[in-house]
Amino acid sequence: MSSDQQGSSAGVLRFTKMHGCGNDYVYLDAWRQDLPEDLPALAQVMSQRRFGVGSDGLVVLGPGQRQAARMRMFNADGSESEMCGNALRCCAWLAFTRGHIGTPEMVFETGAGDLPVTCLVDDQGRCTGVRVAMGTPRLEPSAVPVDHPGPGPLLELALDDVDRVPWRMIAVGMGNPHAVCCVDDVDQAPVTSVGPRIECHPRFPRRTNVEFIARLADEGGMPVLRQRTWERGAGETWACGTGAAAATVAAMLTGLIPHGSAIVRLNGGDLRMSWDGHGDVVMIGPASHVYDGEWPLA
């Protein structure tokens, strides 16, 4: 079915599958169709890898109340998250490519606030990538949020009575909570064992995303960070845009890389990040359309 057709068939929900660096979601266009009320349950069913569409979660885009557009995202377990940078790039691609917003520059309402987005357009008018102002990092513990007396964002957690050495991490809020851990070798890091324990640690009242990072050799004079993410409500994902922002901030605050620009290398590809120590973290990355489909509502 063509993506240019309007409306949806009776008893059928039309969706789009997209990914940003392998961080894949099911997208529902609320400009074109009415949506079911129970979106958390729909996210759980559609996100199943073997029995549904298969994705890291469900994303709804449509008209906003303050801005022209709004994004809501639900993790694969049905929990609603504040924001996802990879999903926001895909939402911008859809809004621009399908003509819902007529200019490359737009502002999306998200759970992390109103975020400016710019589609990078080639000579043929095609969106080749998306630039996102991710917002100012939140380092005060109450804004992450994390139960941490400070001072500063450096946090040490003993995960249970078995652990003899606490895990050291930087707590960063990007509208959603992150805990960034510096390790020697990201590919050997215990992402799937330590990640879920940090995610659900009682000192993170809304749970947290967990990043494992290390510095690689510079490329073209630019520092490179390797990152893997245990994503709250989804498990390990191939990419995390807000996680890349949090990782960049944490790496700059600890002196792992200098302030400025950096490449963040994720399982699914690279993101270009920049932060000068003040104001917004800026992300540039791809948005990839996979296919359009229909989901029976009965």
The residues that are catalytic are 84, 240
Is residue 238 within 8 Å of residue 21, measured between CB atoms? yes
Task: Please name the residues in contact with 176: beta carbons below 8 A apart, sequence gap of 6 or more.
Answer: 81, 82, 83, 111, 112, 209, 232, 242
Cα atoms in the Cβ-side hemisphere of radius 13 Å centred on 19: 15
Show the tokens assigned to 4.
């240019």
Show the tokens assigned to 188.
């050997």
Task: Please name the residues in contact with 242: beta carbons below 8 A apart, sequence gap of 6 or more.
Answer: 83, 84, 85, 112, 134, 174, 175, 176, 178, 209
Is residue 270 within 8 Å of residue 262, measured between CB atoms? no
CB atoms within 10 A of CB 272: 16
Is residue 285 within 8 Å of residue 20, measured between CB atoms? yes
Q: How far apart are CA 108 and CA 280, in angstroms?
A: 15
Q: How far apart are CA 273 and CA 180, in angstroms?
A: 16
Q: How far apart are CA 92 and CA 59, in angstroms?
A: 12
Show the tokens assigned to 267.
């399982």
Cα atoms in the Cβ-side hemisphere of radius 13 Å centred on 150: 10
